[in-house]
């Protein structure tokens, strides 16, 4: 009997197929894949420009199933989550989501992610890096259950200005009343779906959480309803463009986790990352609080800042100089923004640059033209993030567009 051929992504990379893999293979004309936590995730399916502009003008689907997901349940669940993260989770009501970070005992950031409060005693933590051992250490001695539910929950990010209209076309009554960072339950194609108004694009959008057994049914229903709404499946590269515009930081790109760095001075505090607004020093004890109290009184040794660069060449992996001759930092993420029509980037600057010294900053960009490399020194300036902030992201109810 003939055996069924494995999808190309599995053969090429030796990666695990996710719950939507069968559909992704059919859409991935480029057969371009990346490794996301052991899963085959599409990098570019067709054309990165088309995929990017679909985020900003239509609606898009991106498979977020590989994201690490942890269930935290029990009478002491709130206490455990509040001991982990730097925000005051006691203020988070059931049916709401919060963006959070957590730190080691030295006040360095371990990871960032989203905390879903499903009920008084049920939480879900979604993040980029494995955190089970960290959670189990925090939960020791408390009446709480911690479990890795990554493979028990499939996820889809439905993002873009027509995303709400698409869900209404599917008959999801009341979806237009769901506020930003809200959670609600719905039914799609006979399957129970939890929908949160969250995302990584800075645009109007939702994340759908589904049983893996129902994944393909829900996918097909969305694709069917999306024909009149310009729905397009996208890959990582288009999402990367949108997240830079939206002001979101990415682990392993903009910062390193304190639990994975090889050199102690490579870890970063919330104050260096510009995330001090996520630190609630007035709440009960949490991991790293003592160190963060001291750090809050000090000038950060370096700062991750948003910059705008003259001209139109992205400053990938560029160095930053003061007065063109003193090296003071480096660029982590860079992009010529098609929507903002600006040359934007995030850069680490050593103190006092980016803090008390903000003028006469330059970026060193290398361009290859007809095989030859050219060096270009271009002026840059500090700006506020996010670069892209459209009112439709938080509008309730959203327009149909």
Residue of 232, 93, 217, 244 whose CA lies nearest to 157: 232
Residue 264's pLDDT is what? 85
DSSP annotation of 48 reads H
Exposed / middle / buried, residue 373 (Cβ in 10 Å: 0-12, 13-18, 19+): exposed
Does residue 400 contact residue 167 with C-beta atoms inside 8 Å? no
Does residue 219 contact residue 25 with C-beta atoms inside 8 Å? no
Residue 13's pLDDT is what? 60
Domains and CATH numbers, the chain: 8-65+153-246 (3.30.1360.120), 68-151 (3.30.70.1400), 301-389 (2.40.30.110)
Residue 58's pLDDT is what? 97
Residue 5's pLDDT is what? 47
Does residue 295 contact residue 269 with C-beta atoms inside 8 Å? yes
Does residue 281 contact residue 292 with C-beta atoms inside 8 Å? yes
Place of tokens 């229903």: 221
Residue 88's pLDDT is what? 98
Per-residue pLDDT in tens (0 to 9) along the chain, 401 residues: 444 445 555 545 678 899 999 999 999 999 899 999 999 999 999 999 999 999 999 999 999 999 999 999 999 999 999 999 999 999 999 999 999 999 999 999 999 999 999 999 999 999 999 999 989 999 999 999 999 999 999 999 999 999 999 999 999 999 999 999 999 999 999 999 999 999 999 999 999 999 999 999 999 999 999 999 999 999 999 999 999 999 999 999 999 999 999 988 899 999 999 999 999 999 999 999 999 999 999 999 999 999 999 999 999 999 999 999 999 999 999 999 999 999 999 999 999 999 999 999 999 999 888 889 999 999 999 999 999 999 999 999 999 87
Residue of 248, 264, 277 whose CA lies nearest to 346: 248
CA dist., res. 377 & res. 395, Å (int): 41
Q: How many CB atoms lie within 10 A of CB 8?
A: 13
Residue 124's pLDDT is what? 98
Does residue 79 contact residue 69 with C-beta atoms inside 8 Å? no
CA dist., res. 392 & res. 57, Å (int): 12
At what angle are helices 48-57 and 236-246 packed, to 10 degrees?
50
- List all residues 6 or more positions away from 85 whose beta carbon is below 8 Å from its beta carbon: 100, 101, 102, 115, 286
Residue 14's pLDDT is what? 77
- List all residues 6 or more positions away from 282 whose beta carbon is below 8 Å from its beta carbon: 88
pTM reported for the whole predicted model: 0.93
DSSP annotation of 74 reads S
25's tokens: 């293979």
Exposed / middle / buried, residue 13 (Cβ in 10 Å: 0-12, 13-18, 19+): middle
């Amino acid at each position: 009997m003939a055996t069924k051929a494995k999808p190309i992504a599995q053969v090429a990379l030796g990666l695990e197929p996710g719950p939507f893999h069968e559909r992704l293979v059919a859409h991935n004309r480029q057969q371009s894949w990346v490794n996301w936590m052991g899963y085959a995730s599409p990098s570019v399916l067709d054309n990165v420009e088309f995929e990017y502009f679909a985020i900003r003008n239509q609606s898009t689907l991106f498979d977020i199933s590989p994201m690490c997901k942890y269930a935290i349940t029990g009478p002491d669940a709130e206490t455990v989550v509040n001991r982990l993260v730097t925000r005051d989770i006691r203020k988070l009501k059931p049916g709401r989501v919060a963006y959070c970070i957590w730190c080691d005992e030295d006040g360095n950031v371990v990871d960032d992610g989203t905390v879903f409060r499903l009920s008084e005693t049920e939480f879900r933590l979604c993040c980029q890096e494995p955190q089970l051992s960290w959670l189990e250490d925090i939960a020791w001695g408390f009446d709480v259950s911690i479990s890795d539910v990554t493979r028990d929950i499939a996820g889809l990010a439905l993002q873009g200005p027509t995303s709400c209209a698409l869900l209404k076309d599917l008959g999801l009554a009341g979806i237009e009343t769901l506020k930003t960072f809200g959670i609600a339950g719905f039914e799609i194609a006979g399957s129970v779906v939890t929908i949160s108004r969250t995302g990584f694009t800075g645009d109007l959008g939702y994340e759908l959480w589904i049983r893996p057994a129902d994944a393909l049914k829900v996918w097909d229903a969305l694709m069917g309803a999306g024909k009149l709404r310009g729905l397009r499946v996208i890959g990582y590269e288009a999402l990367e463009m949108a997240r830079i515009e939206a002001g979101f930081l990415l682990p392993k790109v903009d910062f390193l986790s304190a639990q994975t760095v090889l050199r102690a001075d490579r870890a970063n505090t919330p104050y260096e990352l510009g995330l001090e607004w996520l630190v609630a020093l007035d709440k009960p004890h949490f991991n790293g609080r003592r160190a963060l109290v001291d750090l809050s009184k000090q000038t950060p040794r370096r700062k991750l800042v948003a910059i705008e660069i003259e001209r139109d060449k992205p400053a990938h992996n560029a160095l930053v100089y003061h007065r063109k001759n003193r090296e003071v930092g480096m660029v982590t993420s860079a992009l010529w923004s098609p929507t903002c029509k600006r040359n934007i980037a995030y850069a680490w600057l050593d103190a006092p640059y980016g803090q008390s010294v903000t003028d006469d900053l330059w970026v060193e960009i290398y361009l290859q033209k007809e095989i030859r490399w050219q060096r270009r020194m271009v002026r840059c300036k500090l700006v506020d993030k996010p670069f892209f902030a459209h009112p439709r992201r938080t509008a309730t109810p959203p327009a149909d567009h």
